[in-house]
Amino acid sequence: IKASQRDALRDATGTPVLDGNGRFVTDPASPRLLAYDQDGIVWDVGVLWRPSRRTSLEARVGWRYGSTTYVGSFSYQPSADMAFQAAVYDGIQTFGRQINDALSSLPTQFTLARNPFGNEVGGCVFGVSGGGAGGCLDDALQSVATGVYRTRGINAVWRYGRGPLQAGIGVGYARRRFFAPITAAFSTNGIVDESWYGQAYVSRQLDARSGIDASVYASLYDSGIGSAPDVLGAGATASYYRTFYRGLSGTASLGLYSTRVDGVDSSLIGSALLGARYQF
């Protein structure tokens, strides 16, 4: 496996040149700098155990990337209403590749826990009745990076859905070691960042016209860069929604958000929303 890069094209003032899409333009005259180069024999051995259609366990150990690797997965679906899935991973990745891998592992049908105040989605998605458990994207989205890195971690997702009740929990840990050319300027080579994250949600349809949902999340990120502080974020939301008439609906929501940057700042924000929507 080999990864290399070139410098960005710069204008007369030394500012990097961007293309029409906001991306850096590569300087074709710049030397190609090697970020990662690993060759040799790679091997792994493993076991796959499927005692029933509902249970599957896979574990592998091997040698690659210059060290011992451990990967595996476990899934258990006792009924169409409930599913659990956990995975241990280890690989050389880029941001784009990791996002693609995470998306490809999601079930074809899933539900999202949305933030009613910004309509953003959480880092974990959960399967629906009869499908898989779901998955979390936090390991890829913890910090958008342009470099090459070795990522190792674990994800676990549980979901339940029966009748009007839906619930899910997702937790995980991710560790990335970056590879970059050694230059006179600042280099991320050898830097290790870590993140811990968790999310839970529950929703219930009260009747044909109304329902409630709630979600909580927490994450801790350590960039691994010198004295850069750790960042802790947490929040909780709850909503009640109701359809009054065909196309007309209303929502009432409450939210509480907390952010703490070690040694720098912290904040605690409460939010409330009362709104109506007409769709035609």
Query: Across the chain, where does the E strand assignment appear?
Result: 2-5, 33-37, 43-52, 55-64, 67-79, 82-93, 110-114, 121-127, 134-136, 148-162, 165-179, 192-205, 210-222, 231-245, 248-261, 265-278
Is the same domain home to 111 and 150? yes
61 and 139 together in one domain: yes
pLDDT value of residue 131? 76
Mean pLDDT of 23-51: 85
Q: Please, are residues 167 and 201 in contact by the beta-carbon 8 Å criterion?
A: yes
Whether residue 147 is predicted with pLDDT greater than 70 in this model: the reply is yes
Residues 21 and 82 in one domain: no
Question: What is the CB neighbour count within 10 angstroms for residue 99?
Answer: 15
Task: Clarify whether residues 21 and 61 are in a common domain.
Answer: no
SS3 letters across 178-208: EECCCCCCCCCCCCEEEEEEEEEEEEEECCC
Q: Is 186 exposed, middle or buried (0-12, 13-18, 19+ CB in 10 A)?
A: exposed
Greatest Cα-to-Cα distance within the chain, rounded to the nearest angstrom:
67
Contact residues for 96 (Cβ-Cβ < 8 A; gap 6+): none
pLDDT tens for residues 188-206? 788 899 999 999 999 999 9
Instruction: Find residue 92's DSSP bridge partners.
Output: 150
Give me the pLDDT at residue 213, please. 92
Distance CA 213, CA 87 (A): 28
Q: Specify the pairing of strand 82-93 against strand 67-79.
A: antiparallel
Indicate if 43 and 62 belong to the same structural domain: yes
pTM confidence score: 0.82
DSSP output for 10-40: B-TTSPBPB-TTSPBPB-TTSPPEEEEE--S
- Whether residue 4 is found in the same domain as residue 139: no
Are 4 and 94 in the same domain? no
Statement to judge: residues 183 and 248 lie in one domain: yes
Closest by alpha carbon to 171, among 141, 203, 195? 195
111 confidence band (pLDDT: 50, 70, 90): confident
Residues 12 and 136 in one domain: no
The per-residue pLDDT for range 225-279, each reduced to its tens digit, is 878 888 999 999 999 999 988 889 999 999 999 999 988 888 999 999 999 988 8
Give the C-alpha separation, 269 to 106, whole Å. Answer: 32
Please give the pLDDT value at position 183.
66
Task: Say if CB 84 and CB 133 are below 8 A apart.
Answer: yes
46 and 29 share one domain: no
Q: Mean pLDDT lowest for which of 82-91, 176-185, 204-213?
A: 176-185
**The token pair that represents 172 in the structure block:** 């995980």
Q: Which domain holds residue 31?
A: 1-35
DSSP reduced 3-state for 141: helix
Residues 71 and 24 in one domain: no
Query: Are 221 and 114 found together in one domain?
Result: yes
Tell me the pLDDT of the chain averaged across its residues.
87
| pLDDT at site 123 | 80
| Overall average pLDDT of the 56-67 stretch | 91
Dihedral, 112, 115, 118, 121 alpha carbons, nearest 10: -30
User: How far is 134 from 156, CA to CA, in rounded Å?
Assistant: 9
Identify the burial level of 64 via C-beta atoms within 10 angstroms of its C-beta, where 0-12 means exposed, 13-18 middle and 19 or more buried: middle
What is the total count of domains within the chain? 2
